[in-house]
Amino acid sequence: MIDVASTRAEVRPAAVAVVVDVLRATSSIVQALSSGYERVLCAASIERARELRAPGRVLAGERRCVPPPDFDLGNSPGGFERPRGSELILATTNGAPALVAATESAERVLVAALLNLDAVTAALAGEEDVLLVCAGTDGRLALEDVYVAGRLALRLPGPRTDAARAAECVAAHYPSPIEALRDSADARALAAVGLQDDLLACARESVIDAVPEAVSGAAGVAVVTENPETLTYANAGRSPLNTLASDP
Amino acid sequence: MIDVASTRAEVRPAAVAVVVDVLRATSSIVQALSSGYERVLCAASIERARELRAPGRVLAGERRCVPPPDFDLGNSPGGFERPRGSELILATTNGAPALVAATESAERVLVAALLNLDAVTAALAGEEDVLLVCAGTDGRLALEDVYVAGRLALRLPGPRTDAARAAECVAAHYPSPIEALRDSADARALAAVGLQDDLLACARESVIDAVPEAVSGAAGVAVVTENPETLTYANAGRSPLNTLASDP
pLDDT digits (tens, 9 = 90+) for B70-116: 999 999 999 999 999 999 999 998 999 999 999 999 999 999 999 99
pLDDT over 70 (residue B248): no
Helices vs. strands in chain A: H and E counts, helices first: 10, 9
**Amino acid identity, residue A144?**
E
Q: Do A166 and B162 touch (CB under 8 A)?
A: no
Optimal mutation site among A169, A181, A183, A190, interface B, most CBs of chain B within 10 A? A169
For residue B179, the model assigns a pLDDT of 98
Which parts of chain A register pLDDT below 50? 233-242, 245-248
Distance CA A180, CA A146 (A): 10
Q: What is the pLDDT of residue B231?
A: 66
Contact A166 B183 (CB under 8 A): no
Q: In what order do the strands lie in the sheet with A2-5?
A: A2-5, A130-134, A16-20, A108-112, A213-216, A221-225, A39-43, A87-91, A57-61
Cβ–Cβ under 8 Å, residues B116 and B208: yes
Separation between Cα atoms, residue B34 and residue A50, nearest integer Å: 62
Mean pLDDT of B174-195: 97
> Looking at the complex, does the CB of residue B173 fall below 8 Å from at least one CB of chain A?
yes
Nearest CA in chain B to A142: B162
With both helix axes pointing from N to C terminus, report the angle between B25-35 and B95-105 in degrees, rounded to the nearest 10. 80
CA distance A142 to chain B (A): 6
- Say whether A53 sits in a helix, a strand or coil: coil
* Beta carbons within 8 Å of B88's beta carbon, 6+ residues apart: B32, B37, B39, B40, B41, B57, B58, B60, B80
pLDDT reading at B229 higher than 90: no
pTM of the predicted model, to two decimals?
0.93
- Please give the ipTM for the structure prediction: 0.92
Integer-rounded Cα Rg, in Å, for chain A is 17
Closest by CA position to A144, among listed A91, A105, A188: A188
CA B187 to chain centre: 17
